[in-house]
Structure 1
């Protein structure tokens, strides 16, 4: 009997050791495994022409990262983010994401700020099967849909439809378009041309400029000689700010509408008094104090603004919101994937979340998840953005 008891106890101990070993991940202590950080990459334009976008994006990610880790991290593990500056350059963006994947071994990437850099990064992310969430607006980033490639800003299609809806309400049918020749501006112009007939719009002037151009007076002078009843600008600052200043100097008095690529405080800062009267299409975060309390986004926007102000003593703009939403979406995906990188791309497709940019409803056929209904028209009055009613 004693011999049988001894054998039984020996078997029980051995079985228990096997269970403990399996639970701790191949002999590694379970506690250590749970504390290993989840490493994510972030490529933003912290210098160069797109820095007005990239700087607030990085700041919002940093403040949210701190909150996430103070709250216990993701699935009980701390989140680590490795930042890279693409210097507003497509080649630098590609180099940055390759470095993050090969050297830093990140499981996902946020960025970039601009459409050109994001498109280059998306090619690499697709090839390497690394999920990526972009903060850029070009529709081409997520259309056609590619596995693991997502974006948070409204697309140029959303903005185009929202602007055209406004023009239709105002009875304006003839417009001139002036756009940056970069991927964002040219992509936006493509949508303006594509959807114009649907809204009864005629484009009577079609002009472009270079991202680094310091004057667009030649293009504006051409537009002034046409019968355009409004001018639409597609670009990111400083270009749009320069355009509205020169338009005022040339005595152009027809409405000027700028895209969401320039919808931030930097536009007013650069354009000065010339900004007054200019219309922009934007997300609700641009006017956080004027969002109705019963709006589904109101509470999320107020929480973000409070968090950002406490950290930086300034109000976040839409670009900061794109990155804030991006990290929140990634966290939701990581939670649903149970920390398994192989399941992350698929889990992101199922994310449904109310963000500061809009209500995201991703699917297998929609990796942006937004509609034009969450965009608004604003006007600059006395140096401040106000909703157009």
Structure 2
């Protein structure tokens, strides 16, 4: 009898411990919010994903140190896609189905983002992409947003600058990835509206290490008044080098994918004079005093002092995404639909890429004024003078 009594007590104690453990686990889950991120920390798009991952971890640490979001600590899970759409798909499914994340930040590239857009939508999981392709948010998917200004705006800014300079006939080059394909389409779509004719087009491998053959072919076309290259991979620096090595002094325009000083450093002297659209983050020091400059300088100083490298617009995209998500979670709490609606109702929020104004029909939140035209001068990014 005594042994049976002891056994019952042990059983009851075990059951009590199980209940207590379940309560502790439940409390721990309630006190955290699990956020996934798919970023290209390595691979050909590492100049994008590297700063993005560092910026995101930095901001999450800052939020958690300040008490989290309404008392909830952020549990951040970062997956390195290497810029691969296939890996992005696998990670998206893992984060949604196994990790049960509340939201996903990223991916870094347009091809990856377009590959997982439907997965996020079907899983009713909020996704805030860090990529530029307009197709990510057009057509609108209820749960999919983005923080990078649209590639259509970048194309239009380039063409407006060309108009001022009297450029009418151009060559277009693009990498054979999602970013390059989407940008090439936007250039073709918008060129006629600005009196610009694309007289030559070339697509190159995103892993290319020598583009001299393409450069020689284009140089032989004497109609070309300027070259526009749409890329997010190191080949864009190689192209600039090959053009100048061929003694071709044609004006070079790059997309907003050039907005990391490492691309200019890789191109060396050939980068001088390259013109491209980018957010004002890259020239924050020269902006007039005000709330926008204050926000940009806070991020810039924090990032550069910690990581000992210059800030890029790409890192700003995850910084903006987490800022937007934190603001929405503070409003909607654990209810994903309420958080989604809170994002759609964000207006006048200053970010690194510009001022965000979302709506049910606009999940990009930025206008053409998010871009300024920059150039490379003495190895540095500066505002392009009119």
Q: TM-score of the superposition, structure 2-length normalised?
A: 0.90
Match 1:382 to one of 374, 378, 386: 378
Query: What residue in structure 1 maps to residue 267 of structure 2?
Result: 271
Question: Quick one: distance in 2 between partners of 1:110 and 1:259?
Answer: 23
Query: What residue in structure 2 maps to residue 299 of structure 1?
Result: 294
Whether contact under 8 Å (1:35, 1:78) holds in the other structure is: no
Question: Quick one: distance in 2 between partners of 1:121 and 1:280?
Answer: 28
Report the alpha carbon displacement of residue 74 of structure 1 after superposing the two structures with TM: 0.6
Question: Quick one: distance in 1 between partners of 2:109 and 2:174?
Answer: 15
Report the alpha carbon displacement of residue 35 of structure 1 after superposing the two structures with TM: 5.8
1:363 lines up with 2:359 in the alignment? yes
Match 1:199 to one of 170, 189, 194: 194
Following superposition of structure 1 onto structure 2, how do residues 176-187 of structure 1 map, counting pairs within 5 Å?
A: 176-187=171-182
Match 2:258 to one of 257, 262, 285: 262
Report the alpha carbon displacement of residue 344 of structure 1 after superposing the two structures with TM: 2.0
State the secondary structure of the residue aligned to 1:41: strand
Q: CA RMSD in A?
A: 1.8
Report the alpha carbon displacement of residue 288 of structure 1 after superposing the two structures with TM: 2.2
- Describe the shift of the 1:134–1:310 C-alpha distance in structure 2 as closer, same or farther (beyond 3 A): same
Match 2:124 to one of 104, 129, 138: 129
Write out per-residue CA displacement over residues 318-362 of structure 1, whole angstroms, 9 at most, x where no aligned residue. 001011001101111111213322322222111221101111101
Whether contact under 8 Å (1:179, 1:185) holds in the other structure is: yes
Following superposition of structure 1 onto structure 2, how do residues 61-76 of structure 1 map, counting pairs within 5 Å?
A: 61-76=56-71
Question: Quick one: distance in 2 between partners of 1:34 and 1:332?
Answer: 20
Query: What residue in structure 1 maps to residue 243 of structure 2?
Result: 247
- The list of structure 1 runs, each at least 4 consecutive aligned residues, that deviate by more than 6 angstroms after superposition, is none
State the secondary structure of the residue aligned to 1:72: coil
Write out per-residue CA displacement over residues 225-248 of structure 1, whole angstroms, 9 at most, x where no aligned residue. 221111000001301101000000
1:229 lines up with 2:260 in the alignment? no
Question: Quick one: distance in 2 between partners of 1:34 and 1:299?
Answer: 35
Match 1:318 to one of 313, 316, 333: 313
State the secondary structure of the residue aligned to 1:379: strand
Q: How many residues align?
A: 362
Question: Quick one: distance in 1 between partners of 2:188 and 2:29?
Answer: 52
Write out per-residue CA displacement over residues 364-384 of structure 1, whole angstroms, 9 at most, x where no aligned residue. 111101111121111111111
Query: What residue in structure 2 maps to residue 77 of structure 1?
Result: 72
Following superposition of structure 1 onto structure 2, how do residues 322-361 of structure 1 map, counting pairs within 5 Å?
A: 322-352=317-347, 353-361=349-357
Question: Quick one: distance in 2 between partners of 1:282 and 1:221?
Answer: 29
Gaps of 5+ in 1: 1-26
